[in-house]
Amino acid sequence: MSETSPRLFIVSPHFDDAVFSCGALLAAHPDAAVCTVFAAPPEQCMHTEWDEKAGFANAHEAVRERTLEDDRALEVLDAIPLRMPFRDSQYADSPSISQMAIALEETIYRSTANTLLMPLGLHHDDHARVFEACCEILPRLSHLDWFGYEEAIHRRTPGAVQARLADLAQRGIVATPATPDAGHTIDVQRRSQLKREAVNAYASQLRAFGAGNYDDVFAIERYWQLSVGRRHAKK
């Protein structure tokens, strides 16, 4: 990677979100870091409806296999996996926003990233919580280049993107349509091919979504550059 290319750090709520939403961008940036926030199994073995739909007998089996799927997907894209010790909401665990923000900030500091991508926090409660944690640290790390990505599948929820953009404005965060520099390391067709291969590594999640319900992951990726502006005064 050239010295002028951005070193990407992508915050992914779950194992598949970064690849589903930013896979083509990852394909253009070898050695990008993908930090999965909710990557830990529950303390007690349990069953959830989503894990059952994905084909798993219990949560421990699900997290173990999903981690392997993530390893395979990120290997296709030459990305570096980072995993945080938090559990997603289906396992009835609720780390505080501050806990997640502190852990994320420490992980970012230990990386060599200069370009950070965070989810817009669309539709899914876990995504919204990760979004809140990122918003907490964004002003403190405003010297870095920040982008929000529209989460594939969830961005199809009517009004979700528009509501988030309005919310960002109220927070004093300016959102401008933009895409991190993709460089010239790989052509568009090859990026698309690699993304499709990486997406297919998440076999359990595609099974849970069901045929025809995840086509959006192959649509054009959309990003918003984020910068700290002036908070709107309340009337």
The span from the CA of 140 to the CA of 142, in Å, is 6
Per the structure block, which two tokens stand in for 19? 């690849």
Provide the residue type at 84 as one letter. Answer: M
pLDDT tens digits along 137-172: 999 999 999 999 999 999 999 999 999 999 999 999
Which sequence spans correspond to the domains of the chain?
8-228
Q: What pLDDT is recorded for position 1? A: 37
Cut 0.85: pTM above it:
yes
**105 alpha carbon, distance to own chain's centre:** 15
Q: Are 149 and 22 in contact (CB under 8 A)?
A: yes
Q: Which residues contact 209 (CB under 8 A, 6 or more apart)?
A: 153
Q: Are 164 and 118 in contact (CB under 8 A)?
A: no
The span from the CA of 147 to the CA of 222, in Å, is 10
The rounded mean pLDDT for the chain is 92
Span 108-135, mean pLDDT?
Answer: 95
**182 alpha carbon, distance to own chain's centre:** 18
Span 37-59, mean pLDDT?
Answer: 92
Please, how many CA atoms are within 13 Å of residue 120, restricted to the half-sphere of its CB?
35
The CATH class for the domain spanning 8-228 reads alpha beta
Q: Is the pLDDT of residue 68 over 80?
A: yes
pLDDT tens digits along 184-194: 567 889 999 99
* Residue in 91, 216, 223, 70 with CA at minimum distance from that of residue 154: 216
* Residue in 153, 164, 148 with CA at minimum distance from that of residue 222: 148
Place of tokens 């609720």: 94
Element (H, E) at 192: helix 188-200
